[in-house]
Structure 1
Amino acid sequence: MTMLAALSHPSLTDCRRMFLRNYEVQINIGVHEFEKKGEQRVLVNIDLFVPLAECTPHADKLDEVVDYDFMRSTVAARMAQGHIHLQETLCDDLARAMLQHPQVRAVRVSTEKPDVYPDCDSVGVEVFHIKPV
């Protein structure tokens, strides 16, 4: 299934898509020795799919929806665990953590390292997961 097809999966048609775009973090990531000596700039993108029945506010109150801070604090918590060798690991860890939220049905996470090669915008990884029913 392509990523585009996954995003239009039938089990997500009753969902609201929340997103965090190009969240820039400095993180210890990489397999090369020079990468282990400092932080690199990484852009994190997250889409959460939350059923409308569980996130449509009736009283215009924050506790009726998934708070955007959940995405940011989840990224911060993973970064605090220390050095990560692979973007694949980072994406998988973030996706798993996002799916732990009881209201989240599906998640798409991508990470990009924009400073790796001078002849392209970035290199990265993307995953998409739907919670088993």
Structure 2
Amino acid sequence: MSDRIVLTGVQTDGTHGVLPEEHEKPQRFVVDVVLEVDLQPAGGSDDLADTVSYADVADDVVAIVEGPHVDLVETLADRMAAAALAHPGVEAVEVTVHKPDAPIPHPFADVAVRIRREHAHRFVVALGANEGDPRRTLASAVRAVAGLDGVRVDGVSDLFETDPVGGPEQPAYLNAVLVGHTRLAPATLLRRLHRIEADHGRVRQVRWGPRTLDLDLVQHGDPRRDDDVVVDTETLVLPHPRAHERGFVLVPWAQVDPQAGLRRGDEVVPVVDLVARLDAEGQPAGVRVAEAWHPEW
């Protein structure tokens, strides 16, 4: 479960309701907002840039209530939820809109509408291993990713055997690609992938060296829908800067999602086209179909 920022009792007046008089006479609205956010980065950095400004969220709430008339409180709540989800880092939101002065001809304490909305970003993870028992490790990693709170695995590619790229002499790899949906922010998802690697004995010592498990976050969001994350920081680069040239990523990715696209600058290139560019026959050298596997999640 994610951390939370809780904002309660934001009050302002608006002209919302079905009755004609509600179109003209302002009424009091009280709003509560619960933001699900990964607050670990902010806890370590003490930097507002690593969290969500609740003052900005309150400004959004007030602007919506004081904005154009709508008939339904449900519409107000939905607009507030959309505004909250637009803030970077917000994974999910619960909005409660109270209308304590609603024109109800009976004694009552309050009436409220409560909704919950969450992101459902498509993501792509490349899996690889060449130490220990790679097949068993990769199957375990698939289950671990599927077990993350806020993650749904939609599919996993076939298993491919691939020659090592760069680094010291080492055994061939087994590789696969996993696709799914998540409400987690990219940095949060990446940290949890790193935790799964560590749980499977991954030690980061030699660059491009042999490893028990490698989980690379290749893409977060879908460039075909123009909702993919493009970022380049010391800790996170998206889309993965070398995915477009790696057969051991592209071949299984195209197999599990033939319609996938990868952003290359201002262009979104079909992954199947990237595979074809690596090899005119569509099967890049050094990437071979491995024995069948059927991972469960």
1:37 to partner: Cα distance = 1.3
TM-score (norm 1): 0.81
Question: Structure 1 residue aligned with 2:21, among 25, 34, 49?
Answer: 34
**Are 1:128 and 2:116 an aligned pair?**
yes
Question: Aligned partners of 2:94 and 2:47: how far apart in 1?
Answer: 26
The within-5 A match list for 1:1-133 is 13=1, 15-54=2-41, 56-116=42-102, 117=104, 119-132=107-120, 133=182
1:111 to partner: Cα distance = 0.5
Contact 2:100–2:111 under 8 Å retained in 1: yes
3-state secondary structure, aligned to 1:85: coil
1:63 to partner: Cα distance = 2.5
Q: Deviations over 1:17-53 (max 9, x none)?
A: 1111111111111110111111100110100000234
Question: Aligned partners of 1:76 and 1:115: how far apart in 2?
Answer: 17
TM-score (norm 2): 0.38
Question: Aligned partners of 2:13 and 2:67: how far apart in 1?
Answer: 13
Q: Rg bigger for which structure?
A: 2
Runs of 4 or more above 2 Å deviation: 56-64
Question: Aligned partners of 1:109 and 1:83: how far apart in 2?
Answer: 19
Q: Which amino acid aligns with 1:106?
A: A
Contact 2:96–2:115 under 8 Å retained in 1: yes
RMSD: 1.6
Task: Compare 71-80 and 85-94 and name the one that shifted more.
Answer: 71-80
Question: Aligned partners of 1:61 and 1:99: how far apart in 2?
Answer: 20
Question: Aligned partners of 1:94 and 1:112: how far apart in 2?
Answer: 13
Question: Aligned partners of 1:77 and 1:113: how far apart in 2?
Answer: 16
Question: Aligned partners of 1:95 and 1:27: how far apart in 2?
Answer: 18
1:124 to partner: Cα distance = 1.5
Q: Which amino acid aligns with 1:114?
A: P
Contact 2:12–2:29 under 8 Å retained in 1: yes
1:83 to partner: Cα distance = 1.0
Q: Which amino acid aligns with 1:102?
A: P
1:76 to partner: Cα distance = 2.5
Contact 2:39–2:51 under 8 Å retained in 1: no
Note the residue ranges of structure 1 that are not aligned, 5 or more in a row. 1-12
1:80 to partner: Cα distance = 4.5
Question: Aligned partners of 1:73 and 1:43: how far apart in 2?
Answer: 13
Q: Which amino acid aligns with 1:17?
A: R
3-state secondary structure, aligned to 1:34: helix
Greater relative CO (CA pairs within 8 A, separation 6+): 1
Greater share of helix residues, 1 or 2? 1
